[in-house]
Structure 1
Amino acid sequence: MFAIQENGSELHFSIASDMALVDRFVALAKEFMERQGTTRFSEIIIVLRELLINAVEHGNTKNRSLIVEGTLEALGQDRFCIRVQDEGRGVDASTLSFTMPEDPSQDRSRGFALIHAFSDEVRFSQSPSTITAWVSVPAQSLCTHRMEGDCARIFPGGDITAASAENLRRLLLKVLDQGVSRFCLDLSATSDIDSIGLSLLIAFARILKENSSEGSLEIQYAAESLETLFRMTRLDRMYTIVRNQKDKDDSPC
């Protein structure tokens, strides 16, 4: 079962509980969003895919005879409403975890944490089993970097949160692929880092350690509140936190 109907600003779907059909529909959803004038839709796709996976795996328990249906509706060029319905018993929202684990190696479901992080609002109903999410395309953050000798100074371009973490991740991996092993994060324009941002920083530290025995990571110009956060989460064991001018003078960046 795979039925799609486009009606102006709405894309209606009915699919069997099959992961291959989830991928097929997500590809068509990207084309639909492009026709609606949206060119940056990674956050919307993340929410859509996680909702579909939840419906297939948990709602319909991967039973191909059961149907997942719903609507992807454009509320404007940069805002969408996603409604996904399955034939299960519904979700008790009070039992769900909406917090992304700070340790990315933890064996724990991240689906609803991602849905919550990227959505403006999420509603649950049980008759029938339906989840509705409203998702907006965030303003694009300007992550940049410059080389200072053999060290890459990274400018996140603002807060490191769920809305901007993907751009920063891509930049870090791009620079790493160029053979750079010394990094300095300049947080002079950063006032907030959420759990997804912390997970990104932890994950990148581990990737760098696996790729280079001589890799180094520094953080400069962090606000006092962020330094406290780094101590609480033990991120200061992975990154050298430059706190004063003397430390900065000794820094390779």
Structure 2
Amino acid sequence: MGPGQPAQTLQRALTTAGVRAGDGVVVPSYGTCEVVEAVRQTGAMPVFVDIDADSYCVDPAAVQAAVTHRTAAIVAVHQFGHRADMARLGQLAERRGLLLVAHEGEQSTSVETAMRRANAAYLSQRLTDVITPRVRPGAAHTFLQYVVRVPGNGRPDRDAFARTLRARGVRCRIPVQTPVHRMPPFRRDIWLPETERAADECLALPVEAGLTRRELHRVASVCNGLGGLLQPA
């Protein structure tokens, strides 16, 4: 599936369900702009809501607070491979007569997913100086990305941690540089505290299926070796 196809599929789903110009569609700001762009292509208005601090998916309580008479749909993004709370979102959508659409990430085989989960479990058992991913009880996580939080003073410490990892040969990336609601084409004058905090603290470490145990051990070793460099304020 090409990079533009999930957004096109989402746009078709919204349009087919009758979402029209002027309708409100609840979306997360923490993630890529393709979901928001798909909503705008229908003529609807993206309504940004905050995320759950553990799953990085939309917080059902925040969604409920954002629903108005103009709301037509909720888009739940399964973030980094962690499934959104579809049970609670589904109950809300049913009560309010809203469309609920799940936006899937990239697809992978069951073997790849099993290997990523095993790699994630290995890292979570060995990492000591970052906050490892949390999985909501009963939820599924395929670990398309292994996202940790770097403790300390937010973005400066996270960025310094990332630079040092790269200098020592460990690949890493910042999963969301800027929340969508702060990007110029989509800017809103709102404050989403968990979204802002995640954008400042999160870092994705290698977890792909092809990693060897030796490579994973090095990732954990290098990360743990930086614990004395960056301490919480």
TM over 0.5: no
- Structure number having the greater strand percentage: 1
TM-score (norm 2): 0.26
- Structure number having the greater helix percentage: 2
TM-score (norm 1): 0.25
